[in-house]
Amino acid sequence: MNEGEKMLKVSIIGASGYTGGELIRLLLTHNQVEIVDITSRQYDGEAVYKVHQNIRDSNLFFTGKTPSEIDADLVFTATPHGASMKIVPELIERGIKVIDLSGDYRFNDTSIYEKWYGMKNDSDLKATYGLPEIYRKEIKKSNLIANPGCFPTGAILSSYPLIKEELVDRIIIDAKTGVSGAGIKPSDSTHYPNIADNVNPYKISTHRHMAEIQQELNGFDDVKVSFTPHLVPVIRGIQTTSHSILKEENIDSSELKKIYEKTYENEPFVKLLNKDETPHLSSIRGSNYIHIGGYDIDETGRIIMLSAIDNLVKGASGQAIQNMNIINNFNEDDGLKAIGLNP
């Protein structure tokens, strides 16, 4: 940054989980940001490396500060669903901008949230859905961003051009996710012997992210959307296969590719692969990029599109920082220039 420019003071509430660790890792490479608070009631006073062993900055410690004690320009709330709605209103009232990584503010209709998340949402705050490739103008003017879910990010971006051009009326999404998507706390479903050598479908028609995907792909009205997730024995990444049914329009794969190129031509983190390539999780690991490929149309009129993201970066913390950059008129790739780790 230029001499004399003020650093953006940033705090992370709920920083002991995987998304909190990724926020710290990425923000430490951002030259216009100062991390002023990293909160965790459980680890109050502990060095950050005791939880996030890759982060060996000796000056970083968890604090048990309450939201009312935080003094920052912008706060990331990496808290569980239901907790953010109790924290965010006070921060907004104090003039602090907030990027919330939970599901509490992602829905236009709170009754949809209550149905899928099983809890009351009494907050009357309205947030901007933080998918920059679609809502960049709105994000720029907002003081509360609802960071998208990981599955929805891969599913929406791989299908959005089809919806934008009104080419399809049915989308079936099959997604495979790494185990880090379940969070840092161990469970029976993430125990190594239960996932190794397996592909485990779960919540096959009831995953809460389906409602988020439906909302953004207009699925409650014109387009029918189905979604089934699978847990696979990898640590990071989401591989999405989208099957979309063409309307009556005739289109071939080369025309389809041109539609995607037109939609995403100025997007810094969307990489469109060639027709003979497919996205690989190893190519985006650790990065904020989404790789999109496929562009196939079979004889039944089914379009097959593929995408790959890192669920902890473009699917969570990286996208949150991308939103922070947009809000503050930083370069959109500040702190996010790393490419994927392959192999």
Catalytic annotation, residues: 150
Q: Where are the alpha helices (DSSP H) in 184-317?
A: 192-195, 209-216, 253-264, 281-284
> Following DSSP, what letter does each residue of 80-141 receive, concatenated?
-TTTHHHHHHHHHHTT-EEEE-SSTT--SSHHHHHHHH-S--------EE--HHHHHHHHHT
Q: Which residues contact 97 (CB under 8 A, 6 or more apart)?
A: 73, 74, 75, 143, 144, 327
Q: Match 């009104």 to its residue by tokens.
A: 166
Q: What is the DSSP letter of 7?
A: P
Angle, in degrees to the nearest 10, between helices 253-264 and 150-164: 110
